[in-house]
Structure 1
């Protein structure tokens, strides 16, 4: 199977409480990197590998995401608005992404597992990608899918090395041999999102809004031997804090954003 034949479910409903400077008035997936929502960057990554249909699980301030995509073409172009007839003429429309966006309200307080379960009615295939709406990576989506198929399990999670919050110093005999500012940690793997699920992974799983993907869905799959790991050693960064938002914008400003 090719990624081009699949859909991606994006979790967009969290409140982003640790990024309150930005999320007081908009959901975290709409916080910008280089003038574009981080959600746009995530969709671009999938689209690079042929994915064009996306199911967005809305929750907290979901109307902001609805407005963004419902008015996407108008936002990118010059327009004329006739206030009497309400007709809108779009002039020299910019090249548009070939995306099909499903906007589904999965509840303001629904947890991650419940959101995916509720969104399954919009997933047309028997297998789909899924990830969080607040993290970017230079992940090879085709390799992720190939790993899932090779593993033969119901679900695959991308394992990543997180970046350290502190500079790493290699000291020998009182002298600093190397100094690396905020390197990736090499002694542990964490859940980096970017999942592949067979729909059967959610068979028998309730649509309880309190269902948490990370504690109520993934551990039972692992216990049954049905969860694979795709180890990604490249760039990965979530945007949980204001400091991380600034860091991602600095990477973008330098013109070498690895996730694009």
Structure 2
């Protein structure tokens, strides 16, 4: 992680977009917003909040919608984190731009101040303060964090000129002109946010950014090659949690030392079990003799019986994986039971409370 180029006394306000329903992560998000899912032992947002604070953010406005009250229940006024957190809720979904404009009503900074905007489903190792510094020094209207990916067609493709100016914003185009994409962290001038129509559905990706570019405003790309991950799918969510536990991405919110696994309060792992790959062993979990768990998330109170195998999977709160069961790239909902000998793989999802009896399923996609 690069050292910040801004003075330590520089403090900023931010907007955190957390209004989505997280449908790609169901059944995990049936009752819990995606940004609050346990990730490396704490709610996902705890990692983002700790990172933002370390780079000078002191006041954050949560732009909420789905199950909005749960965010205040989790973080309160932010004082325990050294932050001032306030909440703005959309009565109806307003899109990314509309959500930013709605949340801006709670900002206290003036029109010439930079405002950081974060997406609530991104893990990133980039230097937020340096992105703000570049934005301020260049006098930009907006500055986008950019990263390179293998398949840019799944994201907003962002070509830039040699001096870093964004020349177009091509949202999820089938024929991307570059593999450099929108990484979901923006710096806006407050006056630019205020120019977004209030109370209307607006997309920053399809309307605000292209509109600024067309109007000749300076929109910059801040490119780097640091760690970056969109955790919107179960596979990515498991990977992100494991990477935090393994120390591939630093987080001051991690509730324990980095290592092959993270053991939370009251969890027990038999000396004859094999656990590693960044696995989170939740509070009160039992991993019994002969079990093997690699790169997975075991929710509080889950049980992995002798001889069971769990790889790259999520096991919900209170779920039970019976003797001889095999899970690879699977999501098991809260309270579900995977009976002896079942084999599930390739993105299978077991919904909360479901019981699979002995040897009833092999390689199912959804049960």
Report if TM-score (shorter chain) is over 0.5: yes
User: Which residue is equivalent to 1:215?
Assistant: 206
CA deviation profile, 1:159-178 (whole Å, cap 9, x unmatched): 1113669xxxxxxxxxxxxx
Q: Which is higher, the Rg of structure 1 or of structure 2?
A: 2
Pair 1:142 & 2:129 matched: yes
Secondary structure of the equivalent of 2:57?
A: coil
Aligned to 1:155: 142
What is aligned with 2:223?
231
CA distance in structure 2 between the aligned counterparts of 1:120 and 1:238, rounded to whole angstroms: 24
Contact 1:21/1:242 (8 A) holds in 2? no
The answer on whether the counterparts of 2:102 and 2:199 sit within 8 Å (CA) in structure 1 is no
- Give how far 1:108 is off: 4.4
Report the TM-score, using the length of structure 1 for normalisation.
0.77
CA distance in 2, matches of 1:5, 1:39: 20
C-alpha distance in 1, partners of 2:212/2:250? 32
| Residue of structure 2 equivalent to 1:36 | 42
Q: What do you get for the CA RMSD once the two structures are aligned?
A: 2.2
Where 1:22 maps in the other structure, the secondary structure is coil
* Higher normalized contact order (CA 8 Å, seq sep 6+, divided by chain length): 1
Which residue number corresponds to residue 13 of structure 1? 19
* Equivalent residues of 1:9, 1:55 under 8 A apart: yes
- Which residue matches 1:195? 186
Distance between the aligned counterparts of 1:152 and 1:202, measured in 2? Answer: 15
Q: Which moved more, 1:126-135 or 1:103-112?
A: 103-112
CA distance in 1, matches of 2:245, 2:35: 19
Return the alpha-carbon distance in structure 1 between the equivalents of residues 188 and 32 of structure 2: 29
For 2:63, the equivalent position in structure 1 comes to 57
Unaligned 5+ residue runs, structure 1?
74-95, 166-186
Ranges of 4+ aligned residues in structure 1 off by more than 6 Å: none
Per residue, is there more helix in 1 or in 2? 1
Gaps of 5+ in 2: 1-5, 153-177, 253-367
Q: Is the partner of 1:240 in helix, strand or coil?
A: coil
CA contact (8 A) 2:100 2:193 kept: no
How many pairs align? 217
| 1:72 shift after superposition | 7.7
Q: Which one of 72, 76, 86 corresponds to residue 70 of structure 1?
A: 76
Aligned to 1:192, what secondary structure does the other structure show? strand
